[in-house]
Amino acid sequence: MNDDAGPGPGTDGGWEVVVIGAGPAGYAAAIRAAQLGMRTACIDKSLDREGNPTLGGTCLNWGCIPSKALLDVSHKYAEAAGHFGELGIGVGDLSIDVPGMMARKDAVVTRLTGGVGALFQGNGVTALAGSGRLLGNRRVEFTPHDGEATVLEAEHVILAPGSVPIDIDQAPLVPGTVVDSTGALEFDAVPGRLGVIGAGAIGLELGSVWSRLGSEAVILEALDEFLPMADQRIARDALRAFKRQGLDIRLGCRVMRAEPSGDGVTVTYQDASDEHVVEFDRLIVAVGRRPYTEGLLAPDSGVNLDERGFLYVNDLCATDAPEVYAVGDVVRGPMLAHKGAEEGVMVAERIAGHKPLVNYDCVPNVIYTHPEIAWVGRTEQSLKADGENYRTGTFSFGANGRALAANDAEGIVKIVADAETDRVLGVHVFGPQASELIAQAVIAMEFDASAEDLGLTMFAHPTLAEAVHEAALGVGGRAIHMVNRKRA
């Protein structure tokens, strides 16, 4: 982190914007504020493994990026181990060098966290390494890692302290053995028997990494339903696919106890019928994340929390304290890097007098399993529950030329549209590169496209995106590459 970056406080000794937290929400806010000509400082207290200040928050250091680095490597490994033969490619003895894989992951992280430092410097954001605490009247106490606290005067404050993994009393962490998501990105070897508590995005992704590399992975999920927030047809297909891949996903199983035993851990869980005991070498606790507000607010800060412990904000991310905003995981809404980044940019622009809004109806969700799961907008089950009239169009990657050519043809695209207006209400993808395909759905929905609009758009052939085109055509019973349920 560069403590010398930026112009420094003005001659009046104050800052126009002080941001607390340099994760995707905070750093995006700081960069945009500086781009708009405001004297901006961004405080962050994260330290890397060597004890050096690091920017980028959870996302770059312990979240999105390192997890994707391991997912991409483990996917290549699983392809080589399981599917290269189908392509006529012979591989000799396959092996995985876990320290090598980790070193590469760390190099990707270092490159990107260094990139945030370079962006701060290039845009004139002053990075301050240490803790920030909001006092009253837009004053921020800054305590450097190795120095005395000072008070910064700010015209506007943006709070972006993020979130941390939830711990549960039933499974206290034991370094190297019972770990949270951060520990699961640091294993020094492939665990023989791996337990995961929680079948959310993080549990599925981390379970997939180690299962692809050879762990016998069991995922214990308290709910009876798999991925209740996703389209339920897709959730069913995905559950089947993941089980086939070797992930032993057990639903309706609530973990009661996890106790160290020898080098491993003994887990007791309860399902509908009985109590069960399983032994694992390593256990990942992935039961969700909570907003992180420890030490953030002085008693007279004027900022309030909501009943779930998030910083309370309105639709424009304003807290109850004048000119104090909060963005990212620490406020309501999905805990996703891009959601926080959009909020950060919106707040910076509003401070500068612009009037953007975040469209919370168009936040894409992705689970980076294989196949990936991605969606935006409403699910069929939520529309049905609300008694709304809708039509659906579905297309299978099994009939998509590019997916078949790539030997990657599992999954579907499903589009849900309003029955009267044909406006696209939701797009759901389970399939290859779903994370990339969903972007076009987000654009379509941002522009209020109808399914017909998407159907009238020309898509390059052969591409995976043609499955989106065909699903859109299917809403009106006009798909070409499948037999429509109804004629149009």
Residue 317 Cβ vs ligand AMP, minimum distance, rounded to whole Å: 22
- C-beta closer to ligand AMP: residue 223 or 239: 223
Sites for ligand FAD among residues 342-381 (CB under 6 A): 368
Contact between 74 and ligand FAD per CB under 6 A? no
CA pair distance 239, 230, nearest whole angstrom:
12
Indicate which of ligand AMP, ligand FAD, none lies near residue 198 (CB less than 5 to 8 Å, by partner kind). Answer: ligand AMP
Residue 135 Cβ vs ligand FAD, minimum distance, rounded to whole Å: 12
Residue 182 Cβ vs ligand AMP, minimum distance, rounded to whole Å: 14
Sites for ligand FAD among residues 150-179 (CB under 6 A): 160-163
Which listed residue (145, 370, 461, 469) is catalytic?
461
Cβ-in-10-Å burial (0-12, 13-18, 19+) of 423 comes to: middle
Torsion of CA 426, 429, 430, 434, to 10 degrees: -140
Indicate which of ligand FAD, ligand AMP, none lies near residue 296 (CB less than 5 to 8 Å, by partner kind). Answer: ligand FAD
Q: Which of 40, 126, 177, 181 touches ligand FAD (CB under 6 A)?
A: 181
In the complex, the residues that contact ligand AMP under the rule CB under 6 A are 168, 170, 197-202, 220-223, 254-255, 287-288
CA pair distance 445, 383, nearest whole angstrom:
16
Contact between 46 and ligand FAD per CB under 6 A? yes
Residue 85 Cβ vs ligand AMP, minimum distance, rounded to whole Å: 35
Contact between 296 and ligand FAD per CB under 6 A? yes
The end-to-end CA distance of the chain, in Å, is 60
Contact between 132 and ligand FAD per CB under 6 A? yes
Residue 70 near residue 185 (C-beta atoms within 8 A) = yes
Q: Is 461 a catalytic residue?
A: yes
Cβ neighbors of 291 (< 8 A, separation 6 or more) are 161, 162, 163, 308, 309, 310, 311, 329, 330, 331
Bridge pairing between strands 193-197 and 216-220: parallel
Interface with ligand FAD by CB under 6 A: which range of 38-46, 231-239, 251-259, 443-451?
Answer: 38-46
Q: In what order do the strands lie in the sheet with 248-250?
A: 178-179, 282-285, 193-197, 216-220, 248-250
Residue 115 Cβ vs ligand FAD, minimum distance, rounded to whole Å: 15
Cβ neighbors of 482 (< 8 A, separation 6 or more) are 395, 396, 399, 470, 474
Indicate which of ligand FAD, ligand AMP, none lies near residue 168 (CB less than 5 to 8 Å, by partner kind). Answer: ligand AMP
Sites for ligand FAD among residues 184-213 (CB under 6 A): 202
- C-beta closer to ligand FAD: residue 137 or 484: 137
Contact between 67 and ligand FAD per CB under 6 A? yes
Residue 336 Cβ vs ligand AMP, minimum distance, rounded to whole Å: 11
- C-beta closer to ligand FAD: residue 84 or 292: 292
Active site residues per annotation = 461
Applying CB under 6 A, the residues found at the interface with ligand FAD are 20-26, 43-46, 57-59, 62-64, 67, 131-132, 160-163, 181, 202, 292, 295-296, 328-329, 335-338, 340, 368
